[in-house]
Amino acid sequence: MLMLNNLIGFGAGGDAALASIVQQASATSTAATLTAPADIVSGDLLIFSDLATNIGLPASVVPTGFTSLSSVSGGNNQRCITSYKIADGSEASATITGMDGNLSDRKVMVTFRGNVPFATASPNTWGGVNQITNPTAQTVTASGGTPPLIVFGVYGCADAAVDPRTFSTTKDGEVSQGTNLYVAWKIYMSSPADTDVDMDDEGGSFQNSLQSGYIALT
């Protein structure tokens, strides 16, 4: 029975196996809130990146039900928080409240869906920096992870375009709010590879934010 289950895409317990992952939908915002995509269903993975600038450091806000992956800030004006959640379905078209910057707000949500609903999401190697100078390249050591998993790079600068954006393996996609906040990803169903994520000093008066890591899924 175990061999038959594996051949037809079922696990040892008889449940359907996680065999494919696709990027499903996305949304962006330039306000303190974001309207989530209308097609979110229970078991989707939601990634939410939030870049806010203030006169004075923006107050940290992680949306209700989300868990922070990385929160970086520097100087006295910019903070970037990336968080995640496995959806319960109530998020479809919902208002997601993040940070409120009195100078600028930039938000990106990206959703992912498996051939079966995700049961667990396990973040690994997440970290980041927010600084006025050129960030050092970050290496996501996904080769040591258990697939399926998704590697992410998050790039932000409130008042200058982020270009170029290094993602050393071939990214599957990228979503941006304008030219100031980007979320890029690579989905691995097998044989994950280490990925270098990097950006330049964009030369704006605000900070350069760079975050990266991966999430293993079951």
In tens, the pLDDT along 58-75 reads: 999 999 999 999 999 987
- The arithmetic mean of pLDDT across residues 158-176, rounded, is 97
Which of 3 and 192 is assigned the larger pLDDT?
Answer: 192
Q: Is residue 100 in some structural domain?
A: yes
Select from 81, 193, 89 the least CA-distant residue to 147. Answer: 193
Q: What are phi and psi of 79, to 5 degrees?
A: -135, 140
Q: Is residue 2 in some structural domain?
A: no
Q: Is residue 129 in some structural domain?
A: yes
**Sheet containing 165-167, strands listed edge to edge, beginning at the edge strand earlier in sequence:** 138-140, 195-199, 165-167
- The arithmetic mean of pLDDT across residues 38-59, rounded, is 96
Tell me which residue range forms the domain holding 185: 20-217
Of 13-17, 128-132, 168-172, 180-184, the poorest mean pLDDT is in 13-17
Q: Is residue 4 in some structural domain?
A: no
Instruction: State the total domains in the chain.
Output: 1
Q: Is residue 11 in some structural domain?
A: no
Residue 4 has pLDDT above 50, yes or no: no
What was the pLDDT predicted at 75? 75
Give the pLDDT band of residue 204 (cuts 50, 70, 90). confident
What was the pLDDT predicted at 15? 66
In DSSP terms, 152 is beta-bridged to 185, 213
Residue 1 has pLDDT above 90, yes or no: no
Q: What is the mean pLDDT of the chain?
A: 93
Q: Is residue 45 in some structural domain?
A: yes
Question: How is residue 43 written in tokens?
Answer: 């078991």
What was the pLDDT predicted at 16? 86
The b-or-e profile of 60-78 (16+ CB within 10 A means b, else e) is: ebbbeebeebbbbbbeebb
Q: Is residue 15 in some structural domain?
A: no
Cα 48 to Cα 5, 94, 177, 186: the distances in Å are 35, 13, 12, 16
Residue 147 has pLDDT above 60, yes or no: yes
Q: Is residue 1 in some structural domain?
A: no
